[in-house]
């Protein structure tokens, strides 16, 4: 099942590799804001400015990485390094074998941490399009993990 989830994300992201007119060499960085502090996410699979790279899924990417500790039900926000907001985006919560469920994400990137204590893995997938030219600017997947405290 893990292989299929990774393949799904790779196909989804690679579908947007036709990049034209984009000057940034890498996808925007995405951070998580929690309790007034900012934390990094890990860039995964992406296609940007004609360059495509494929990585493991979020659970594997977060192996041996620092897990952000949050309060149960805390409001968190995903923030990117550019003002050009994604055309589409979605947030998926994954368990340790990468079976996932989509989570509600507001337009400004806000979501709510789980209410049950434990470690949770996430994949945030975003796509940018130039609607006037009807071309893809790029796609990227970001990974992060939360440890919900009791």
The pLDDT, as a whole number, for residue 80 is 92
Beta bridge partners of 121: 94, 145
The pLDDT, as a whole number, for residue 131 is 84
Distance of CA 65 to the CA centre of its chain: 15
Classified as helix, coil or strand, 121 is: strand
pTM recorded for the entire structure: 0.81
Name the pairing type of β-strands 51-53 and 42-48: antiparallel
pLDDT, averaged per 10 consecutive residues of the chain (150 residues), comes to 43 40 77 93 94 94 92 96 90 81 91 94 94 90 95
Q: How many other C-beta atoms lie within 10 A of the C-beta of residue 100?
A: 20
Say which residues have a Cβ less than 8 Å from residue 85's Cβ, sequence separation at least 6. Answer: none
- How many alpha carbons lie under 13 Å from residue 89 in its C-beta half-sphere? 25
Q: How much of the chain is in helix, strand and coil states, percent to nearest 5?
A: 10, 50, 40
């Amino acid at each position: 099942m893990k292989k299929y989830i990774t393949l799904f994300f790779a196909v989804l992201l690679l579908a947007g590799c036709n990049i034209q007119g984009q000057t940034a060499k890498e996808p925007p960085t995405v951070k998580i804001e929690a309790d007034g502090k900012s934390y990094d996410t890990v860039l995964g699979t992406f296609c940007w400015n004609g360059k495509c790279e494929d990585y493991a899924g979020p659970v594997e990417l977060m192996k041996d990485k620092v897990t952000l500790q949050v309060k149960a039900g805390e409001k968190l926000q995903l923030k990117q390094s550019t003002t050009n907001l994604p055309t589409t985006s979605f947030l998926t919560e994954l368990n340790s074998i990468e079976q996932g469920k989509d989570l509600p994400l507001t337009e400004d990137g806000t979501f709510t941490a789980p209410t049950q204590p434990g470690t949770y893995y996430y994949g945030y997938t975003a796509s940018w399009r130039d609607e006037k030219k009807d071309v893809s600017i790029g796609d990227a997947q970001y990974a992060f993990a939360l440890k919900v405290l009791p």
